[in-house]
Amino acid sequence: MYWGGLSGAFLLDDTPNLNVIAQLPANPSLSDIFNLATTGFAGVFGRSVSIFSFLLQHESWPDPRNFKFVNLLIHLVNGCLLALCCVLIGRQWRSQSIPLVAIAVISFIWLAHPIQVSSVLYVVQRMTLLSATFGLLALLFYLLGRRFLVRGENARGIFLVLLGLVPVALLSVLSKENGVLVYLYVLVLEYTLFANSEQPKLLLRLRQGLLAATVLIGVAGLIFIMPSTLEGYDLKPFSFAERVLTQFQVLTTYLANIAILLPNYFGVFHDDFANAQGLSLILSMLFVFGLIVAALIKREKWPLFAFAVLWFFAGHALESTFLPLEYYFEHRNYLPLLGLVFALVVYLSDLLPQLDGNKRKITLTIASIAIAFMSITTVRQTALWGDALYQAYAVVEQHPASKGAQSNLVEKLSADGQFQLAFDYHMTVIDPEQLSIPPFIRWLEFSCILPSVEPPEDDVLRRQAREAPHDNGAVFSLNNLVFGILEGRCPSAPVNKIQLVLDELAANPYFELNHADIIFYQALLQASAENFPAAADLAADSFRQRADVRVGLYQVNWRILAGEIEIAISTLQSLERDYAEEIAASIDLSARLQFLRNRLQSASRQ
């Protein structure tokens, strides 16, 4: 089912996140990989477990196929863990356990639903997959421990519960921050499916303690992250209120796509999702609040319904609420989908024995057709993912207003060697009146590749770079463009225009977060022009704004080339003293340091 999708390309932030692999030395040891993975590259806690898994595949870089294949294996492992959790849930929920056939159907639907495709084939979403792996393991240990507690075997029970909710849950968080939601998942189980069963006092105290701890941690977390969260909205094209309100419509759309299997709406490009307003906003708010309130009120009378609803919304408690993230991504449904599928399949499994022969056949036929349609939709989606250029064309057709889809088509045409066609299409979608700098940086990239391309006018570049809202893609594109010049891949680069963009971006308040990067790119351009004193001064400025050892080592090299030996020696000694552990942990940094020592020794003898 997924095999055809493994031949696809990297997408969106795959490459920026996986570029860390290039920092590994040749034939790295496990220690080298571990040290680099724990440096902290993504998210609040560095997501070191996920980064470690990417680094282990360094021999596959930059071919995406093996990365996608490992994602698929993790997805299958998660399906097995999910099945085991369902078995334990069934045995502790009621006297009549869930039939194994029903559990197999739950696992298959969860594994094969088309909304899961982007979680598997979008390589960087291994972070989501691994977070789910350890989240399910944490839940599994909790359920095993809970079973011992019910039997009165408290020592074993407490050990397994703590094993799941502390170290294993921590691994989930270190894969991706929403691993912390495992505590909400446990509470949903306890207050819905397990609410009516007889509990020993220790288990009741554990439940109450977990609820209190979750509330306290949640409140403390909000207090801790809310200031930076609100600041994050300064870099987004939407406000805090717009984001929160639009999520009601986003959640409603997720549920509709899960249920109705709309084949043309699955994928990763949804940046054209409009701000919710008017009647659609009111209806979606009533729908979401209605489901949650009904689930809370009726959780003891309708435990299966309450479990489905509360599990789904618990899984969206971080990424679909107040954080300044893009509105819509399917991978956010990876674990939340379980509650809906579990409830539906168990309900039908319980219903079938109560039906007469004809009704049972009709119900099974409808269910079989639905599963077949779901499977066909998934196969179609994976086939689309397996052909990068065809997928790019299809997504633009489905989402003509999506800037991400447009940029992706230009990128895939360029990767296919169709540079002129890519440029011609790019010029049809670029809008000089809309403030967005990435399309103009792309235009500058085309002027490197196609000598006949005239770069944008200075006035247009100046306005875009000075006033455009923040976009991480712009910084990544500038990185590629500047290093392309240094490495000789862009011989006809309009350096003056690139310098103009960098100067204006440095004055753009929306790009304040990236000032250190922008100044460093300015330094690199000065070095390419052999203006080493200016390059060194700019590198020093960049380092003051963000202490990056690599930038510091660049500065030392340029000081040497500028003949400023005493400053070079002083700077190198400061780096060795203040960043000794970081340098020692990286073979690459250690090699650069030794190279500069040798250069300084040679310069001192002259």
Which of these three, 356, 385, 414, is where a domain ends?
A: 385
User: Would residue 391 count as lying in a domain?
Assistant: no
pLDDT digits (tens, 9 = 90+) for 528-553: 889 999 999 999 999 999 989 999 99
Query: In the predicted model, is pLDDT for residue 482 greater than 60?
Result: yes
Query: What DSSP state is assigned to residue 167?
Result: I
Query: Rounded to 5 degrees, what angle do the CA atoms 156, 159, 160 make?
Result: 85
User: Would residue 455 count as lying in a domain?
Assistant: yes
Tokens 């009726």 -> residue: 298
Q: Same domain, yes or no, for 418 and 502?
A: yes
pLDDT (mean) for 129-145 = 97
Number of domains within the chain: 2
Query: In the predicted model, is pLDDT for residue 284 greater than 70?
Result: yes
| Domain containing residue 224 | 3-385
How is 307-363 classified by DSSP, letter by letter?
HHHHHHHHHTTTTTTTS---S--GGGGTTHHHHHHHHHHHHHHHHGGGS-HHHHHHH
Can you tell me whether residue 470 is helix, strand or coil?
coil
Which token pair is 27?
Answer: 């034939």
Q: What is the C-alpha separation between 372 and 361, in angstroms, rounded?
A: 16
Q: What is the C-alpha separation between 379 and 117, in angstroms, rounded?
A: 9
Q: Same domain, yes or no, for 360 and 488?
A: no
Which of these three, 385, 414, 440, is where a domain ends?
A: 385
Per-position b or e across 447-461, b if 16+ CB within 10 A of its CB: bbbeeebebbeeeeb
Q: What is the C-alpha separation between 139 and 92, in angstroms, rounded?
A: 13
Q: Same domain, yes or no, for 180 and 284?
A: yes
Q: Same domain, yes or no, for 371 and 404?
A: no
Q: Same domain, yes or no, for 321 and 409?
A: no
Query: Rounded to 5 degrees, what angle do the CA atoms 176, 180, 182 make?
Result: 115
Q: What is the C-alpha separation between 386 and 82, in angstroms, rounded?
A: 27
pLDDT greater at residue 234 or residue 481: 481
Query: In the predicted model, is pLDDT for residue 121 greater than 80?
Result: yes
**Distances from the Cα of 484 to the Cα of 444, 490, 542, angstroms:** 12, 6, 20
Q: Same domain, yes or no, for 459 and 379?
A: no
Q: Same domain, yes or no, for 471 and 352?
A: no
pLDDT digits (tens, 9 = 90+) for 240-274: 999 999 999 999 999 999 999 877 788 889 988 99
Can you tell me whether residue 42 is helix, strand or coil?
strand
Per-position b or e across 298-313, b if 16+ CB within 10 A of its CB: ebeebbbbbbbbbbbb
Query: In the predicted model, is pLDDT for residue 586 greater than 80?
Result: no
User: Would residue 156 count as lying in a domain?
Assistant: yes
Of 367, 340, 363, the C-alpha closest to 259 is 340
User: Would residue 583 count as lying in a domain?
Assistant: no
The model carries a pTM of 0.88
User: Would residue 581 count as lying in a domain?
Assistant: no
CATH number, residue 507:
1.25.40
Q: Looking at residue 104, what is its pLDDT?
A: 97
Of 487, 531, 481, 488, the C-alpha closest to 502 is 481
Q: Same domain, yes or no, for 410 and 368?
A: no
User: Would residue 427 count as lying in a domain?
Assistant: yes
pLDDT (mean) for 37-61 = 82
Q: Same domain, yes or no, for 365 and 420?
A: no
Q: What is the C-alpha separation between 260 and 340, in angstroms, rounded?
A: 13
pLDDT (mean) for 39-65 = 84
Q: Looking at residue 493, what is its pLDDT?
A: 83
For residue 236, report the phi and psi dihedrals to the nearest 5 degrees. Answer: -110, 155
Assess contact for 584 and 596: CB atoms under 8 A.
Answer: no
Assess contact for 371 and 111: CB atoms under 8 A.
Answer: no
193 Cβ contact partners less than 8 Å away, ≥ 6 residues apart? 89, 93, 303, 304, 307
Q: If pLDDT is split at 50, 70 and 90, which confidence band does 584 have? A: confident
Q: Over pLDDT 90: what percentage of the chain?
A: 65
Which of these three, 385, 414, 439, is where a domain ends?
A: 385
Which token pair is 422?
Answer: 């890519």
Q: Same domain, yes or no, for 454 and 356?
A: no
Q: What is the C-alpha separation between 403 and 377, in angstroms, rounded?
A: 25
Tokens 């519960």 -> residue: 161
Q: Looking at residue 394, what is its pLDDT?
A: 93
Query: In the predicted model, is pLDDT for residue 43 greater than 70?
Result: no
Q: Same domain, yes or no, for 338 and 379?
A: yes
Q: Which amino acid is at 547?
A: A
User: Would residue 595 count as lying in a domain?
Assistant: no
Q: Same domain, yes or no, for 203 and 60?
A: yes
Query: In the predicted model, is pLDDT for residue 217 greater than 80?
Result: yes
User: Would residue 571 count as lying in a domain?
Assistant: no
Q: If pLDDT is split at 50, 70 and 90, which confidence band does 606 have? A: low
Q: Looking at residue 96, what is its pLDDT?
A: 82
Can you tell me whether residue 24 is helix, strand or coil?
coil
290 Cβ contact partners less than 8 Å away, ≥ 6 residues apart? none
Mean pLDDT, rounded, of the chain? 91
Q: What is the C-alpha separation between 88 and 193, in angstroms, rounded?
A: 12
Can you tell me whether residue 231 is helix, strand or coil?
helix
